[in-house]
Structure 1
Amino acid sequence: MKRTHRNTSIIGMALGLAAAAAIGLGSASAAGYPEKSIDYIIPFNAGGESDISARFQQSVFKSVAGVEVVIQYMAGAGGAQAWSKLNSLPGDGYTMMGINLPHTVLQPMQKDVGYQTDDLTPVHYFHYTPDAIFAHVDSDFKTLKDLVEYAKKNPGMVTFSGSGSNSSNHLAQVRFDEMAGIKTTYIPFSGTGPAVTAVLGKQTLAGFNYAPSAIAHAGKMRMLAVASAERMPAFPDVPTFRELGYDIVGGAYRGVSVPASTPEDIRLRLSDIISKINADPGFKKKMEDGGFVLTDVGYRDMPKFVAEKKKEYAAMADKLGIKKQ
């Protein structure tokens, strides 16, 4: 009995020392982090809001973190191609990936996309972009009323491009159809860039895209309404949906995620870096002038924030035709 007790004590001491060593190593890694450039993977094509906001971050990243950030692209399946591979990437803090809501809640609810919402490890959500309806500048749709009247006379004939299935654009289109009493057709693309190109090329009659698209394509598209709570400073002449009688406020939240194997202290450090970038005056001006709405949801607040969003989006699943698993 005594020998057993002694062996148990020795094992317990060994485990305690191992745990202490692990904590010490973790702290040391965070203390020196980052020491080299960080790869920043965008799960969409170049040119969309995820890319634009990442480029704005890139412009001040080194001044905040002391190292460069290198932007790469892994587009496909509305972001799912990249998110399904995230946990197979190195969890050393030198690989991070753009992450979007509601994409990462709604996609796994619909079908097997290679990941589940809870598989992902978001560390910070730093902005959202309001949904907006766009038409080509030469379109007969001069106002939202024009589009609604046409849609009522021609059910299903108004085609909306959007940034992927079960995205914020898709959610907004479903809500709009319901509130306006119309039936339109949503056509998903692999990101905002191709979705906007479809409007510019007149492949679709309109687009449910994000407000910042009006900056990059000024003079080529007409924004008919925006899903912000109030008129946006960057677009003072564009009415909100609420002004026009439709209670639609929302958009896509964008942030940064890391592989699940990334140590906790590195997650916190990276969240802190993103938060400091958000506070940079030059970055703030670029984002606000570009039609982005800044948020600052850090790693410590992530469980509550994600839980609230999961509940909100799940309530819309049936209207999107998603059969909850």
Structure 2
Amino acid sequence: MKRFMAGLAIVLLFVAVFGVFGMMAEAAYPERPITYVIAFNPGGESDITARAQQPYLEKVLGTQIIITYKIGGGGAVAWSEVPRMRPDGYTIVGHNIPHIILQPLQRKDTGYKTTDLKTVCWFEATPNVLVVPVDSQFKTLEDFVKYAKEHPGQITLGGSGSYSANHLGTVEFNEAAGIETTYIPFTGSGDAVPAFLGGHVTGLMTYTTMVANYREQMRPLAVATEERVSIFPDVPTFKELGYDYVEGAYRGICVPPKTPDEIVNKLADAFKQVNETPEFKEKMEAMGFQMVFYGPEESEKFVEDRVEYYKSILDKLEMK
């Protein structure tokens, strides 16, 4: 009996000691730099956002944030690696809606499922906007639609990625307007803009952020929001012009599915603090971003709802 009690005491001591060490380890996170992976080209919305967040995140988390890029497949190259990453919180990956929903729904070679990505949070949104060069023959959306009807398939619209908000938005608008345009996918907004400025596409189905950055070179014809965007008060919405079309992208952060909730919650809290910093918020909104925030639990429900929403849209449309 004495041996049993002595053995039990040792076991309890072992559990207590390692339990304390475990809690200390969790409390210490992060103890080293965190790698922030961007799935698109430098210069696009994801990259602009990460660069803006970087100094604020470093201050909140008390460690270095290293931004790297893994480009390809409209984001799928980076997202397909998430399930295989170590679930320790030291690699976080920027991800997007509708990309992470549409890609697995529309492609067999995506390399990941939507549920493979554990969302930490969604922190911003960017509405779609249709733009043409400032010297374009299209002065209004009416001009654009009239030409597209008379010349089916001749208008080319560039955008960020395949099975993305820009891609889906182009298909949705074609359907709403009864026209046919040709969508040209680029590896990110930062890659699409030079092609646009070089005259390689007729226009872009891009995001409000790109218009904010290239005001002198882009003529926005309409924005895909319910109401006009405050930084472009003179740009009409598609809806007010008679087209039932609202679309855009959400951006956030994901980690491997087995990442401990304690780490996920700490990261989510850090991004929330950054979003709530007045200086940061003002800077982002001036660039055309809409600041939102969904934490881990809200994000799970949000993704589920968006999956059903996009399934309903895909039932009506044929992605081209």
TM-score by length of 1: 0.89
Match status 1:126 vs 2:119 = no
Residue deviations 1:111-154 (CA, integer Å, cap 9, x gap): 22111111111110001100010111121111111110100100
SS at match of 2:249: strand
Distance 1:197 1:22 in 2: 56
Gapped runs of 5+ residues in structure 1?
1-5
Distance 1:241 1:314 in 2: 22
Counterpart position of 2:53: 57
Match status 1:116 vs 2:113 = yes
Distance 1:216 1:242 in 2: 24
Q: 1:33 aligns with which of 11, 26, 29?
A: 29
Distance 1:139 1:100 in 2: 31
Distance 2:29 2:23 in 1: 10
Counterpart position of 1:283: 280
Distance 2:319 2:175 in 1: 16
Distance 1:109 1:148 in 2: 30
Asked if structure 1 preserves the Cα contact closer than 8 Å seen for 2:82 and 2:116, the reply is no
Asked if structure 1 preserves the Cα contact closer than 8 Å seen for 2:171 and 2:319, the reply is no
Residue deviations 1:210-255 (CA, integer Å, cap 9, x gap): 1100122221111111112222122122111122111222310100
The structural deviation recorded for 1:88 is: 2.1
> Which amino acid letter does the alignment assign opposite residue 314 of structure 2?
A
Match status 1:218 vs 2:215 = yes
Distance 1:243 1:183 in 2: 21
The structural deviation recorded for 1:264 is: 1.6
Q: 2:235 aligns with which of 238, 241, 245?
A: 238
Distance 2:82 2:21 in 1: 24
Counterpart position of 2:299: 302
Mean CA deviation greater in 125-134 or 140-149: 140-149
Q: 1:88 aligns with which of 84, 91, 101?
A: 84
Counterpart position of 2:93: 97
The structural deviation recorded for 1:60 is: 1.6
Distance 2:22 2:143 in 1: 59
Residue deviations 1:24-82 (CA, integer Å, cap 9, x gap): 66543332122222110000000111111111111322222222311111110100000
Match status 1:147 vs 2:144 = yes
Distance 2:317 2:184 in 1: 13
Asked if structure 1 preserves the Cα contact closer than 8 Å seen for 2:124 and 2:293, the reply is yes
Residue deviations 1:144-182 (CA, integer Å, cap 9, x gap): 111101001001111110111110111111111111111
Distance 1:103 1:49 in 2: 14
Distance 2:132 2:298 in 1: 38
SS at match of 1:317: helix
Give the percent of matched residue pairs that are identical in Structure 1 and Structure 2: 48
Match status 1:77 vs 2:59 = no
Q: 1:174 aligns with which of 171, 177, 196?
A: 171
Matched residues, number: 311
Asked if structure 2 preserves the Cα contact closer than 8 Å seen for 1:125 and 1:296, the reply is yes
Asked if structure 1 preserves the Cα contact closer than 8 Å seen for 2:149 and 2:180, the reply is yes
Across the aligned residues of Structure 1 and Structure 2, the Cα RMSD in angstroms comes to: 2.3
SS at match of 1:99: strand
Q: 2:63 aligns with which of 67, 74, 85?
A: 67
Distance 2:257 2:204 in 1: 35
Residue deviations 1:251-280 (CA, integer Å, cap 9, x gap): 101000112232121011101111111101
SS at match of 1:315: helix
Counterpart position of 1:157: 154
CA 1:31 to 1:153, structure 2 compared with 1: closer, same or farther past 3 Å?
Answer: same
Mean CA deviation greater in 157-166 or 65-74: 65-74
CA 1:268 to 1:149, structure 2 compared with 1: closer, same or farther past 3 Å?
Answer: same
Q: 1:197 aligns with which of 194, 197, 200?
A: 194
SS at match of 1:207: strand
TM-score by length of 2: 0.91
Distance 1:274 1:127 in 2: 11
CA 1:316 to 1:29, structure 2 compared with 1: closer, same or farther past 3 Å?
Answer: farther
Counterpart position of 2:309: 312
Asked if structure 2 preserves the Cα contact closer than 8 Å seen for 1:96 and 1:257, the reply is yes
